[in-house]
Amino acid sequence: MSLNALINFAYIAAAIMFIFGLKMLSSPATARKGNLISAFGMFLAVIITLLDKSIISYEFIAIGIAAGSVIGFFAARLVAMTRMPEMVALFNGFGGIASLLVGWAVYHFTPEIPPFTAVTIFLSVIIGGITFTGSVVAFGKLSEYISGKPILFAGQHIVNAVLVIGSLVLGALYCLNPAGNYLIFSIIIVMSLILGILAVIPIGGADMPVVISLLNSYSGLAACAAGFVIQNNILIVAGALVGASGIILTQIMCKAMNRSLANVLFSGFGATSSKKQEGVQGEAKPLKVDDAYLILEAAQSVVVVPGYGLAVAQAQHALRELDELLEANGCEVRYAIHPVAGRMPGHMNVLLAEANVPYDKLIDMDNINPTMNTVDVCLVVGANDVVNPAAREDESSPIYGMPIINVDHAKLVFVLKRSMATGFAGVQNPLFFKENTRMIFGDAKETITGLVAGFKNN
């Protein structure tokens, strides 16, 4: 078998592993195995690519592999679950800048650029640049280095439109004569970086799960374009798969919020609130941990609704212990998962998986809601916007029409929260004042640990 035949055969095998791995990621029960299969496919693709005879030196490649492996190892071990969305945002950004640099390098070191290659270089640079700076801004918003509120200014849409049209016009001029248009090429890079910033700053923190999945799609498309630039089949396939899966996930996120992608990208959601929403008032009913234990001790069914506050408190392991004690006491425990809970797609699934919560206990929103009125206690741990009944009841609310988990239909609701503050969307939550709601203020981990102690000591 010739070397080219071996490389192509390995690429086909890697592509098959990517596809099967992505398929397995659709189920929590097979996600871990799917991730390993996809990772092995990428490992095979990288190893077989290094057999290419056109590679004249492996020194810098070896340095890059060593540096990346060390950074990746420590990032995986040391980054807290609360920082996982920021880490994913950076991954997307690094994918974008890598594609941009590949396109730039090929343009810089190739004397004669064919028209098709010039087009693919333009696409890898423009999409890669937008992905990089957009991901950096998303990282800043998630880390709260930048305000999570939409940043708007007069004529913002016009400025963005001018940049997009200008980039396309300059791209056409560059593609017509690549060799003599280095200045235009440089301007395109700068414009792509500016576009990435301006595309993400008007998006509110509550929409970050959508932004993360969309930027993931962009990074895949940029990689696909880079694959055409260097004529590497497996990079084209991998980039196309990432781009397509990212778009599909983005649509799922939008559907979960009952909003269009255009509304997410251009509405500036969260910049303003209605007066009616700002005036939501009532009397909260606080509950002590000891009293909450007595109620849970008598409960026959409990549904836990996790949110970002669970990750902040790092309470997932304590929650798992409480789950085991409740079941030992004859109580059925389930977890209601909203598609956009947390700061990235699947955030709560990953968090609970870390604590070894069985996959079959994770119930999606559509399946849990019809049974919610039979639940004795609904335990809301750090969730806010995804359980806000204003989305169902108040037409003036910015989140009206968004599908939520109907926790207020349960017989009793315990909300574990540090304060009465609004969620990431900045919208008041009337759930806190419902007759069947009890507020348990304080750190979620300390509260759950107190409940665990109650079961152990009695």
* Residues annotated as part of the active site: 385
**Coil, helix or strand for 306?**
strand
Q: Are 398 and 425 in contact (CB under 8 A)?
A: yes
Cα separation, 329 vs 298, whole angstroms = 9
Instruction: Say what angle helices 208-230 and 233-257 make with each other, to 10 degrees.
Output: 160
Question: How does strand 377-381 pair with strand 412-417?
Answer: parallel
Cβ count within 10 A of residue 76: 9
Q: Is the distance from CB of 287 to CB of 380 less than 8 angstroms?
A: no
413, 434 in Cβ contact below 8 A?
yes
CB atoms within 10 A of CB 287: 17
* Best CA proximity match to 220, nearest among 244, 186, 203: 244
| Rg of the Cα atoms in the chain | 25
Computed from CA positions of residues 429, 433, 435, 439, in that sequence, does the dihedral angle turn out positive or negative?
positive
CA-nearest of 284, 308, 299, 282 to 439 is: 284
Q: Which two tokens stand for residue 108?
A: 């810089």
Query: Interhelix angle for 444-456 vs 289-298, to 10°?
Result: 60
The token pair that represents 139 in the structure block? 């990282």
| Strands (DSSP E) found in 353-430 | 362-364, 377-381, 412-417
Q: Please list, residue by residue across 197-235, b when 16 or more beta carbons sit within 10 angstroms of its beta carbon and e when fewer do.
A: ebbbbbbbbbbbbbbbbbbbbbbbbbbbbbbbbbebbbb
Walk across the sheet containing 301-306 and list its strands.
Answer: 362-364, 332-337, 301-306, 377-381, 412-417, 437-441
Cα separation, 425 vs 150, whole angstroms = 10
In the structure encoding, which two tokens stand for residue 4, read together? 């080219």
